[in-house]
Amino acid sequence: MNYLKVSGFSDEIAPQVDAQFQALNRLGISYFEPRGVNGVNIADLSDEEREALKAKMAEYSIKVSSIGSPIGKIKLEDDFAPHFERFKRVVETAKYLGTKYIRIFSFYHNGGEWTEQERAEVLKRLEMMVEYAKEQDVVLLHENEKDIYGDNATRCKDLMDNLYCDNFKAVFDPANFVQCGQDTLEAYSVLKPYIEYMHIKDAEENGNVVPAGYGIGNVEAILKALFDNGYDGFLSLEPHLGSFEGLAALEIDDKMENLPEGGEGTFTLAVNSLDEILVKILK
């Protein structure tokens, strides 16, 4: 890669960390965003599992860009107290693994229009987490996941208007916005002051996830705008290509040739697609 701060959800390569890190080494990528670690969610690692992960990171010279946590991915109707305890464990893990960043979400509800009461509960819960993040000196990165409160630009902006600070910033995920029917360039124009971290994921109009640059997420235009504005943060690949049935039908030049089998192949395709964009915009 010609940009050093490329990372990714390497559990999409394989469940086992050795296989993940071997592939990252082959691809010249020095960071990962841990989510699944030997089949265990990063939020649920025991002390021993966490220690073993840190040893593997040292063995393969891999660092953590951000914790790919599931925090905030519960319903408002669910009990928040145990979830907050899980959140505190994730914060501890982030610090142990040497990152200040933690990816989070802003809760689901039972569908329909978001009520003012639900909005107030979302803000209350997030404010509690932000206050704890301030105490622990970590940065919570809100991802615009489909169907959570902050899934479109307007509600993401609402969260930023109320909570943005050194410890609460935005992840920008183009494919997620596409899947919500949100124009990504419009979303970028609204959220650009708050973007701290990029997920590299693209999608077609029907929601199918495709390699960066092959959908309608305007990935190239958004990355160029970010870099023109001085961005030097992480680009984290979340390919989600394993279940993409139309992958073989894409006209993607020679990047389909000689790819590894399975998850490493689709992850490599995602890396190559991003690299193609970076070569154009980082001349």
The 10 Å Cβ neighbour count of residue 134 is 15
Predicted local confidence at residue 240, as pLDDT: 75
Q: Which CATH superfamily is domain 6-281 in?
A: Divalent-metal-dependent TIM barrel enzymes (3.20.20.150)
φ, ψ for residue 244, nearest 5 deg: -85, 100
| 146-181 pLDDT tens trace | 999 999 999 999 999 999 999 999 999 999 999 999
Long-range contacts of 240-246 (CB under 8 A, 24+ apart): 240/12, 240/175, 240/201, 240/209, 241/12, 241/209, 241/210, 241/211, 241/266, 241/267, 241/269, 241/270, 242/12, 242/266, 244/208, 244/209, 244/210, 245/208, 246/208, 246/210
Domain borders along the chain are: 6-281
For the four alpha carbons of 198, 239, 123 and 184, in that order, the dihedral sign comes to positive
DSSP class of residue 247 equals G
For the four alpha carbons of 258, 280, 196 and 74, in that order, the dihedral sign comes to negative
Closest to 76 (Cα-Cα) out of 104, 106, 102: 106
Distances (CA, A) of 73 to 103, 122, 174, 255: 11, 12, 19, 34
- Confidence check: pLDDT of 256 > 60: no
Contact criterion met (CB below 8 Å) for 58 and 102 = no
Spatial separation of the C-alpha atoms in residues 98 and 210, rounded to whole Å: 31
Vertex 53 angle, CA 58 and 16, to 5°: 110
Q: Average pLDDT, stretch 34-58? A: 97
Q: Return all residues near 38 (Cβ < 8 A) that are at least 6 apart.
A: 15, 16, 17, 49
| 182-210 pLDDT tens trace | 999 999 999 999 999 999 999 999 998 89
* Model pTM score: 0.93
Vertex 77 angle, CA 140 and 180, to 5°: 60
| 211-220 pLDDT tens trace | 999 999 999 9
Spatial separation of the C-alpha atoms in residues 37 and 15, rounded to whole Å: 6
Vertex 232 angle, CA 229 and 238, to 5°: 110
| 94-130 pLDDT tens trace | 999 999 999 999 999 998 999 999 999 999 999 999 9
